[in-house]
């Protein structure tokens, strides 16, 4: 017998007869259709898991243990933190052998015994075993956990939302001679204690090729943080996550740099900040061309080769006498 819950999460099996049954739960998709296919885990979740593993800040809620055990092996380890980080930057799309992103745990109370039923856990899956089913089991609550979402903020709007290119972007034109390598700086505009960061950078992959991503180029806080990146995916997007397994550090100004190879010496192109999330909140900052004093931090850069400008516009108030059609 199969049933799908309605929009309120209700389900009903009304054709069952007396007998022995196991009640299990599953979700086919890795996201909730009512919330969209957004990332539900972040650098903050990775940091929470890592801080628990190191003992810096052990979990204070039993529910976090379920969400953090993404391998479903019954333990919380550095492997769980690593897998969540890899998932965030899309190096992997799955956490465990069951290929599931959800754990469903029915409420276990004294009414189960009265129904000749018991709750069984097996490799992260919870089952209600009716031995046998002779009474109606009414109003049984089932709790769903998103694996990796330790702080439980999935389907909750982040404060300020994501920093996305097509949301009122500020693109700076940078006129420069061609050089084999370009270094892009990512900065925060005010001091902030950083627990976890997610950065997504888009770029014209016909012109630029990412070569190196460095967190904290000054080396002041490097020992306090770990990182994971899909730098060499070559799909026009760099995704990187940073997190701390110890005490968050107060960081101001430059937090990371990306080194690009400028492949096409006859053309320019854009590099932009697609998403910038600090501690589950839209980061207050932007990007600049390292060593180029433009006077402002922006969402994106339009790199223009001074020798080969990409576009020239002429504005006139009267027709060109040599070509009236212009």
Q: Indicate the range of 36-40, 89-93, 143-147, 254-258 predicted with least confidence.
A: 36-40
pLDDT of residue 36: 54
Average pLDDT over residues 161-177: 66
Q: Hunting for tokens 């001074």 — which residue is that?
A: 306
> Which residues have CB under 8 Å from 262's CB, separation 6+?
178, 179, 180, 181, 182, 207, 208, 303
CATH class of 19-146: mainly alpha
pLDDT(271) > 90: yes
Q: What's the confidence (pLDDT) of residue 64?
A: 94
Model pLDDT, residue 165: 44
Mean pLDDT of 201-209: 92
Residue 9 predicted with pLDDT over 60? yes
Sign of CA dihedral 27, 276, 215, 245: negative
Q: What are the two backbone dihedrals, phi and then psi, of residue 45, each rounded to the nearest 5 degrees?
A: -65, -45
pLDDT score for 259: 95
Q: Are 50 and 226 in contact (CB under 8 A)?
A: yes
Yes or no: domain 171-305 corresponds to CATH 2.60.40.680: yes
Q: Given pLDDT bands bounded at 50, 70 and 90, which one contains residue 164?
A: very low
Residue 314 pLDDT exceeds 70: no
pTM: 0.82
What pLDDT, on a 0 to 100 scale, did the predictor assign at position 75?
93
> What is the per-residue pLDDT for 267?
87
Kindly give, in sequence order, each residue whose CB lies less than 8 Å from that of residue 143, ignoring residues fewer than 6 positions away: 104, 105, 106, 107
Res. 14 pLDDT band, cuts 50 70 90: confident
More confident residue, 37 or 3: 3
Average pLDDT taken over every residue of the chain? 85
Overall average pLDDT of the 298-315 stretch: 72
Whether 266 and 305 have beta carbons less than 8 Å apart is answered as: yes
Q: What is the mean pLDDT of residues 143-171?
A: 68
| pLDDT category of residue 322 using cuts at 50, 70 and 90 | low
Domain layout of the chain by residue ranges: 19-146, 171-305
Task: Tell me the pLDDT tens digit for each residue of 74-120.
Answer: 999 999 999 999 999 999 989 998 888 899 998 877 788 888 999 99
What average pLDDT does range 140-148 have in this prediction?
89
Contacts of 257 (CB under 8 A, 6+ apart): 183, 184, 185, 186, 212, 213, 214, 217, 290
pLDDT, tens digit, 9 for 90 and up, residues 277-287:
999 988 889 99
**pLDDT, position 184:** 93
Tell me the mean pLDDT in the region 141-146.
88
- The 10s digit of each residue's pLDDT in 33-65 is 666 555 678 999 999 999 999 999 999 988 899
pLDDT band at residue 128, thresholds of 50, 70 and 90? Answer: very high
CA distances from 1 to 16, 162, 287 (A): 8, 42, 55
Task: Report whether pLDDT(297) > 80.
Answer: no
More confident residue, 124 or 234: 124
What pLDDT score was predicted for residue 158? 46
Locate all alpha helices (DSSP H) within 125-221, ordered by sequence. Answer: none
Does this chain's domain 19-146 share its CATH topology with 171-305? no
Predicted confidence (pLDDT) at residue 243 exceeds the cutoff of 60: yes
Closest CA to 258 of 205, 216, 210: 210
């Amino acid at each position: 017998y199969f049933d799908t819950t309605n929009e309120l999460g209700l389900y009903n099996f009304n054709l069952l007869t007396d007998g022995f049954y196991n009640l299990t739960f599953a979700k086919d998709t890795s996201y909730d259709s009512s919330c969209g296919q957004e990332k539900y885990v972040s650098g903050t979740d990775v940091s929470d898991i890592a801080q628990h593993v190191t003992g810096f800040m052990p979990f204070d809620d039993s529910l976090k243990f379920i969400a953090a055990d993404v391998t479903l092996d019954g333990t919380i380890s550095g492997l769980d933190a690593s897998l969540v980080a890899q998932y965030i930057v899309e190096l992997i799309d799955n956490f465990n052998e069951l290929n599931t992103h959800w754990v469903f745990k029915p409420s276990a109370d004294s009414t189960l015994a009265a129904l000749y039923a018991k709750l069984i856990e097996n490799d992260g899956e919870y089952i209600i075993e009716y031995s046998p089913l002779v009474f109606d089991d009414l109003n049984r609550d089932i709790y769903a956990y998103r694996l990796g979402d330790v702080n439980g903020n999935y389907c909750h709007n982040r404060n300020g939302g994501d920093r996305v290119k097509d949301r009122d972007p500020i693109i700076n034109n940078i006129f420069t001679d061609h050089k084999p390598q370009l270094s892009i700086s990512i900065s925060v505009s005010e001091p902030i204690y950083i627990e976890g960061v997610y950065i997504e950078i888009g770029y014209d992959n016909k012109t630029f090729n990412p070569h190196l991503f460095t967190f904290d180029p000054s080396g002041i806080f490097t020992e306090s943080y770990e990182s994971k990146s899909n730098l060499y995916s070559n799909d026009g997007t760099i995704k990187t996550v940073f997190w701390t397994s110890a005490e968050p550090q107060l960081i101001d100004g430059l937090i990371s740099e990306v080194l690009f190879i400028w492949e096409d010496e006859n053309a320019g192109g854009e590099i932009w900040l697609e998403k910038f999330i600090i501690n589950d909140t839209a980061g207050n900052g932007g990007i600049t061309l390292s060593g180029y004093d433009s006077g402002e931090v922006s969402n994106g850069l339009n790199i223009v080769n001074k020798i080969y400008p990409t576009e020239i516009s002429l504005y006139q108030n009267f027709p060109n006498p040599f070509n009236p059609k212009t």
